[in-house]
Amino acid sequence: LPALFKQELQDTEAEEGGTVTLRCELTKPKAPVEWRKGDVTLYPGLKYELRQQGCAAELIICDLEVEDS
């Protein structure tokens, strides 16, 4: 069976130049997660950090800009 969301992403506010963490919880531990912004897949680097532990997945966005909305 595919993994489903137990807890979906919540709207989050943050200040320009800051950092924000987006979290979701899945029904299966270590299920593959692909973070996307529109049609663009996000990959780890200076701007994005991707973490996953058990059923929880996190996307950390650093140095926030208006375009990150």
pTM for the model = 0.86
Q: What's the confidence (pLDDT) of residue 8?
A: 81
> How much is the pLDDT for 65?
94
Q: Give the model confidence (pLDDT) of 4-58 as tens digits.
A: 888 888 888 899 999 999 999 999 998 899 999 999 999 999 999 999 999 999 9
Tokens, residue 11: 């709207």
CA-closest candidate to residue 48, choices 20, 25, 16: 20
Say whether 58 sits in a helix, a strand or coil. Answer: strand
Q: Which domains does the chain have, with CATH numbers?
A: 5-61 (2.60.40.10)
Which pair of structure tokens corresponds to residue 69? 């909305």
Let me know if 57 is exposed, middle or buried by CB neighbors in 10 A (0-12, 13-18, 19+).
buried
